[in-house]
A and B are shown apart, each in its own frame.
Chain A
Amino acid sequence: MSWCVKSLSLICQQIKNPQLTCVRNRYHAEKIAKGPLLRRYGYRDRILQSGTLPHVDGPRLPMPVYRPKNAWCEKRALFGQNDYIDILGNGDLHPTRIMYNVQSWLRGVKGNEYQILLRKRKIFSKGIVPIARPTKWRDLNKRISYLYRFLNEKTKTGMPSN
């Protein structure tokens, strides 16, 4: 009995709010009158303008913790000490002789790779390196030979001509 009442009420609703679906035009003139068909119109901005943020409970992106450098640690507080020792101290002591943080064969040395390697070979040939580190020694000599040929055959040597 209740299904009768239900179906009756549904029919009454449909009569009250009929759903209209236009499938096709009856006349060509009606189609033309409607105008050109508009498809894929408009733009939907995919940016959240409201609501909660996404991933607020999940794992956050990793950011390193900011650790400021101590500007007054001993190394930084006394940086540059004794650089003027030949002016304000004994005139015989040059600042290159107290560059203790630099390897001894590199104190006061400036040059390109070839010049540095030549100096390295000159100094290390007197020690144990050729015997104890044969591969490294061989690589050093190979590199020096290669650079000699490269710099003399493939690059300009001497002073510029103009």
Chain B
Amino acid sequence: MLVHWHHSYSTYQRGSTQVGATACKMAVVNRIYLFSRISITPKILLDPINRVCGGRRFDSTSVSSDGEVSNSSLSTTPIIRRTLACPPEYKRVQQAWVENLNTVEEQKLGLIDLHPDVFGAQPRIDIIHENVEWQTKYRKVRYDHTKTRAEVRGGGRKPWPQKGTGKARHGSIRSPLWRGGGIAHGPRSPQTYFYMLPFYTRVHGLISCLSIKLAQDDLHVVNSLEIPTDDPKYIEDLVENRNWGPSVLLVDEIDIMPRNITAATDSILHINLMPVYGLNVFSMLKHDTLVLTMAAVNRIEEKLLYQLNRPDFMDVTKKFMLNQNG
């Protein structure tokens, strides 16, 4: 079963004809539909690519079934390869094309392996929902506040004697019964909604989300974020040409990005740059397409595989204590 996220921008769009159920309720514009598909992993096996001699570049339409490159425009750019340091024995390796950002048209520079524990895991929608809910709520603080009868100015004296006047008996003019009096059970600020998800719930949220993005063809790997101009139109044409979603999240390893891409995406609000440490489930779901650089893929895989296999996992699964260091 696969999951498809649909995001609307200017209007709240209804009327998708997919058969399925609304699996979770979160922020107003995001909804989930479930529909079935048969295969999860992408299309091409490893063998035909290895038979192509090194030093050839190939386009998307050029690789035929017997694996020979039949494109007229060849260059001497080396094919980008990537071998997994610790490949799993009994799981199928995931693969992704490596593309370029130099030209508007897509050019494939190689086919790399991706670790199935990170990019081919079981897509757990419930874990993703928990993660999104956590991200929405844990930083929320409510500051609305009302004064009680003790805090409202005045109201220390008994307004009139207990008996004798025909009036109702009262002890203070600031009791909750009175106009202008204190509020008995109102909001008392500040009210926090902080909680921490278990460590591995968050790890599996990231893993599920990455797997879903890859399975639904919303994940693209590029060699680097260098582009020839700093014109926003170039990026828009590129996204339009390659049928990437309206919103794109470009992830690099560190937070210092090349100048041209920064200038080009500055004015486009729905195309955003992020370093690897800033990656999170909410952003991956908000943006339709996720574009990772090779360095980012290496870093993400390294970090997540470490978290899945670390020897001191008992230390990180402990309850969050307020005065803990880190």
> Measuring CB to CB, which residues of chain A are less than 8 angstroms from any residue of chain B?
68, 70-74, 77-97, 99, 101-103, 106, 108-111, 113, 116, 139, 142-143, 146
Contacts and interface: CB of A to CB of B under 8 A. Distances in A.
In the complex, which of the residues B10, B269, B304 has the most CB atoms of chain A within 10 Å of its own CB atom? B269
A68 B11 CA distance: 8
B20 to A, nearest CB: 24
Contacts of B135: 79-80, 83
10 contacts: A72-B270, A79-B283, A80-B282, A81-B283, A88-B300, A89-B303, A92-B326, A103-B190, A113-B188, A113-B191
A92 B270 CA distance: 32
Interface stretch (B82-90, B229-237, B317-325): B317-325
Contacts of B279: 84, 88
Interface of B: 9-11, 29, 135, 138-139, 141, 148, 150-151, 188, 190-195, 199, 202-203, 206, 247, 269-270, 272, 274, 276-283, 286, 299-300, 303-304, 307, 316, 320, 322, 324-326
A79 B191 CA distance: 21
Nearest to B141: A102
Nearest to B325: A92
B307 A79 contact: no
A109 B320 CA distance: 10
A128 B247 CA distance: 48
Contacts, number: 111
Given A102-B141, A108-B320, A142-B150, A87 B203 contact: yes
B151 A84 contact: no
B326 A87 contact: no
A129 B11 CA distance: 48
A92 B316 CA distance: 10
B282 A79 contact: yes
A129 to B, nearest CB: 15
A80 B270 contact: no
Given A102-B139, A109-B194, 12 more contacts: A72-B270, A77-B286, A78-B278, A83-B280, A91-B326, A92-B325, A93-B326, A96-B194, A103-B141, A106-B192, A108-B322, A139-B150
Contacts of A91: 316, 326
Contact of A87 (B192, B194, B247, B303): B303
A87 B135 CA distance: 14
B283 A71 contact: no
Contacts of B270: 72, 77
Contact of B10 (A68, A80, A89, A139): A68
Contacts of A106: 141, 190, 192
Contacts of A71: 9, 29
A96 B280 CA distance: 15
Contacts of A146: 150
A109 B322 contact: yes
B326 A77 contact: no
A102 B324 CA distance: 18
Nearest to A97: B326
Contacts of A79: 135, 282-283, 286
A82 B278 contact: yes
B206 A88 contact: yes
Nearest to A110: B194
Contacts of B190: 103, 106, 116
B9 A87 contact: no
A110 B278 CA distance: 25
